[in-house]
Amino acid sequence: MTGTNKIRYAVVGLGWFAQEAALPAFTNTDNSELVALVSDDVTKLQEISQKYGIQHTYSYEEYEDCLTSGEIDAVYIALPNHLHREYTVRAANQAIHVLCEKPMAVTEQECEAMIKAAKDNGVKLMIAYRLHLEPANLQAVEIVRSQQIGEARVFNSVFTQQVEGGNIRLRNVTGGGTIYDIGIYCINAARYLFQDEPTEVFAVAATKGEQRFSEVEEMASVILRFPNERLATFTCSFGAAKVSTYQVVGTKGDLRVESAYTWHGELKHYLTIDGETQEQTFAQHDQLAAEFKYFSDCILQDKDPEPSGIEGLNDVRIIQAIYQSIETGQPVQVQTLDRSQRPTADQTIKRPANEDQPELIRAAAPSGNS
């Protein structure tokens, strides 16, 4: 580790999200430094390394060289879902800390292998749940916990967007599909707002027969049963207009959060108690910078990250149960691991919004717009 108390990162995978959200975020942290890039796209490596002044670039074949180079302390893995396990385990085996994008992996066995590798090698493993540090979502947790809306009974969410044909999210082999990609946000939000784990799931999928949905469902609707007879429902879609919202309804009132899952732009609360509604706006923050800062702090201070491998594993177990329910048409029981730690307002990290709109190099947003 460098003497400047900065954790040195390699970013592995240079797709749309890595380019638009992650790479610019390093300039917004005081304890994290971008020093290496890993990709098989020579054009991306050349142009992005030039833009950010990065000396060290590697192909995927050279990943091991990157890990053993002595140049990095941690990797941020922004690869397709089916590669998360391999690239996490390989990093952990070289004593490199891992911040891995969600979903953690495609199966629970892959998640367990990642947790074991991190434990065996004494490295930190964090799953990139950026909303566990985001002010509006953490404030929502506090509102529900403090019972301002009475006893929370209902969670409902809609998360939809258009995904262009040919996008990796529409491929089965890479771990695509609506639940893995965006449904995971709804599952995770229900878990942190109810501060509990679901015991049973029921789900249905629908597809109109468009060619782009030949491998994965166009949309899915899910019911999660929680202890104390609470219900969470959500619908996610790759074939509908952009909506990102959730509502928690309690015995005395409700809280609605608009653009709840966004990584840029402002978020809004609509809190209604006894028929009176209060609005609160949360300004845009650099959520990725907050994430890098938090993970680097965990490494520097030898703390366990709250969005741990267990957090990632629980979501993947729930996702697998959801797909089982879709296939069988039956409710499916879920076995999750107990979580002693859950996100609270104490974890809030605010970093100023990054106004830089990077030009995308051979990458596009899921909607096809650059």
Q: Tell me the pairing of strands 152-162 and 230-237.
A: parallel
Q: Report the 10 Å Cβ neighbour count for 5.
A: 10
Catalytic-residue membership of 52: no
**Choice among 76, 129, 185, 323 that is catalytic:** 185
63 is catalytic: no
Active-site pick, 6, 44, 102, 293? 102
Q: Known catalytic residues?
A: 102, 185
